[in-house]
Amino acid sequence: MRKFYKLTGYFVLIFIALSMLYPFFAMINLSLVPNSEIFTQGGKFIYSPLTPENYTNVFQKIPLWKYFANSMFVALVTTAGQVIVSAFAGYAFARLKFKYRNEIFLIILITMLIPPQVNIIPLFFLMRELHWINTYQALILPGLFGGFGVFMMRQYFLGFPKDLEESARIDGCNILDGFFKIVLPLAMPAVATLGIFTFITTWNSFLWPLIITNTESMRTLPVGLAIFKGSFREITMWGDLLACSTICTIPVIAVFFLGKKYFINDILQGGVKE
């Protein structure tokens, strides 16, 4: 009976996994089908004929590589910056003792309760005063500081054994040496998890890039995709849109698989109590 329940559980998990993967498979399959054939083969699991025509059309109609490069640059720099800032701040709140530490951390937690849309107007006026409208600085800097990242890293460092840090100090390491040589390498599961979340959030960001950029050369991929979709007048080219969507999805999947090992380790460690 136990074996039956185990097999049933595996079957349910496989079914759920396939159900979630099928939309991605359908998106890739339909992105390789000519626009004229997409709605003529209803009910098929695999559509045909397959052709790269849609991808060729997309690269000819819009500067997709420029959009892609902008998104990749903004996402990578924002991710690296937020991970660094959050790691330093989280370690300071977890280990260092300074005046008003708890009060400052409480203020950071309160910022997590404020909807991001509320900050858009003040941020826009700030960027205008700095003459940063339609620049990379405006796209990147607001994403470098986040209450969630600080909170996440602080909680991780609070559970970090102090014995290792004390041993490093006995051996002559100061706080920074101990942080970079001992603490940070062992905190890679949390760093990778925060990096994955930040990259996906920044890569998919639409509203702020739409507001702060006003030229084609500064558009990110989600904004470019929305404007490309809005350029259709009478007939929507679904094959071209699916080709764009596939290209948008590839970096997110790649980043997740690159950090999957650390991400899973973080989940497993979070479920273990000493």
Tokens of 118: 């509320």
- Residue 130's pLDDT band, with cuts at 50, 70 and 90, is very high
pLDDT at 271 over 60: no
pLDDT for the residue numbered 274: 44
> What's the pLDDT score for residue 273?
44
With 90 as the cut, is the pLDDT of residue 153 above it? yes
Query: Residue 60 to residues 64, 66, 100, 224, 262: CA-CA distances in angstroms?
Result: 9, 12, 57, 14, 39
Looking at per-residue pLDDT, the higher value among 5 and 231 belongs to 5
Pairwise CA distance, residues 84 & 150, whole Å? 10
Instruction: Report whether 227 contacts 18 (CB < 8 A).
Output: no
- Predicted pLDDT at 272: 42
Residue 36 per-residue DSSP state: G
252-258 long-range contacts (CB < 8 A, ≥24 apart) are 252/199, 252/200, 252/203, 252/204, 255/195, 255/196, 255/199, 255/200, 256/196, 256/200
More confident residue, 107 or 226: 107
Nearest partner of 81 among 139, 141, 136, judged by Cα: 141
Identify the weakest region by mean pLDDT among 88-92, 153-157, 234-238, 262-266. Answer: 262-266
**CATH classification (class only), 62-270:** mainly alpha
Q: Cβ contacts of residue 217 below 8 Å, gap of 6+?
A: 63, 66
Given this model, what pLDDT does residue 9 score? 84
140 pLDDT exceeds 90? yes
pLDDT of 263 strictly over 70: no
Looking at residue 178, its pLDDT comes to 83
Q: Tell me which DSSP letter residue 38 carries.
A: T
Instruction: Give the distance, in angstroms, between the CA of residue 61 and the centroid of all CA atoms in the same chain.
Output: 27
Residue 4, Cβ neighbours under 10 Å: how many?
8
Q: What integer pLDDT is reported at residue 73 of this predicted model?
A: 96
pLDDT of residue 213: 92
Q: Please enumerate in sequence order all residues whose Cβ is within 8 A of that of 16, keeping only pairs 6 or more positions apart, or say none.
A: none
Q: Which pLDDT belongs to residue 90? A: 94
Exposed/middle/buried for residue 252 (C-beta within 10 Å: 0-12, 13-18, 19+): middle
The DSSP secondary-structure symbol of 146 reads -
Q: Residue ranges of the domains in the chain?
A: 1-60, 62-270
Residue type, 198: T
- What CA–CA distances, in Å, run from 52 to 36, 56, 266? 14, 6, 40
- Torsions phi, psi for 248 (to 5 deg): -65, -30
| Torsion 196-177-167-98 (CA) sign | negative
Residue 62: what pLDDT?
86
Q: Rounded to two decimals, what is the model's pTM?
A: 0.86
| DSSP state letters, 31-91 | HTS-GGGTTSSTT-SS-----THHHHHHHHHS-HHHHHHHHHHHHHHHHHHHHHHHHHHHH
Question: In this predicted model, what pLDDT tens digit does every residue of 40-64 receive, in sequence order?
Answer: 766 677 777 788 888 988 888 889 8
**pLDDT mean across residues, the chain:** 86
Per-residue pLDDT at 165 = 80
The least confident of 171-175, 217-221, 248-252 is 171-175
